[in-house]
Amino acid sequence: MKWFLMFSDMKKPVNTLGVTLQFLTSFLLLRICFSKNVPASFVFGDSLLDPGNNNYIASLSRANYVPNGIDFGWPSGRFTNGRTIVDILGHQLGLDFTPPYLAPTTRGSVILKGVNYASGGGGILNHTGLIFGDRINLDAQLDNFANTRQDIISMIGVSAAEDLLKNSIFSVAMGSNDFINNYLTPVLSTPERKLVSPEMFVSSMTSKFRLQLTRLFNLGARKIVVANVGPIGCIPFERDTNPDAGDNCVAFPNQIAQLFNAQVKSLVAELNKNLQGSLFVYADVYHILEDILQNYRAYGFENLNSSCCHIAGRFGGLIPCFPKSKVCEDRSKYVFWDAYHPSEATNTVIAKRLLDGDANDISPMNVRKLVRV
């Protein structure tokens, strides 16, 4: 009780009850933050990680209807049959589901365990995803995180907020939509592709991404997992819209994804070198998913190229998953849930390899080691 005696001995009148309540509130909030010695999780991304933010905006990119969420319990807005990669990672780290930023319940002490800002249709470039109407691109997601940061400071103070953020895990998975729903959009993107080479487009993405990741660092993030773009030429949508590829993945989307990934890998190394105290980690989702597709039976899958939730197209990739779609009997046997997104079974494999994988999967360290640093 020395702190109380210190205040009571002061000559100026002090509202000791108010000070005591503020102290106890901060103490309890910090206990919530650091319970189980597990960091908070802050997530930035697109529909691969969206937990339902798009439920609250006027967007065509939504998943808050059946059969989405069929194995989750309800259609929460996740673009899969069950959990996303960050849901599974969070569970392994002892965290609850990281709530969507736009949910009205994501307020108060809830945010001290983390917030998910991901939005279906969002991209690195601000004009990505225009075909969906509203979506939250990465710049806007960072704006939202800046608001969360101020709320955290208001609750626990600057010093405690800085400690919380530097020990939290930040996940960033962006770029797929910049290709699928921008540069590679069937018909609509043809004029742009005549004027802008793949190299120029990827360079513009990387330059923008550098600014965004630097801003995230400047806002207090230190442990940042940056996922690359997967083999998008293998998704059912690309297979069905490029029938000349036959049973193979479509080459050009994969080539441009690999071009971007090489630059992101170099960018991660650059940021680690230039931003003192940063721990950027490169998650090679392309490599992991490519391995799953090449060895799908070894992972327990029976179908590597078609949508479990389907209605049209040889691979079920022409129309997004919606209430009248047919659903495969055993979701665990399909690599892809719908035209664009992995199934929960695939997400589980990816999450486990990011958590405990070697340098081929994630470097310079896996997520479990990153948590302990």
| Cα gap 54→204, rounded to integer Å | 26
H-helix segments, 275-343: 285-294
CA 289 to chain centre: 16
Coil, strand or helix: which one is 174? coil
Residues tagged active-site: 47, 338, 341
User: What is the DSSP secondary structure assignment for residue 49, as one 8-state letter?
Assistant: T
| Cα gap 48→90, rounded to integer Å | 15
In the sheet that 362-363 helps form, which strands lie side by side, from edge to edge? 114-116, 41-45, 169-173, 223-227, 279-283, 362-363
Sequence-separated (6 or more) residues with CB below 8 Å from residue 220: 149, 161, 162, 165, 166
Answer whether 176's CB lies under 8 Å from 229's CB: yes
With CA atoms as reference, report the closest residue to 309 among 355, 343, 284, 267: 343
User: What is the DSSP secondary structure assignment for residue 182, as one 8-state letter?
Assistant: I
The sign of the CA dihedral 97, 101, 105, 109 is positive
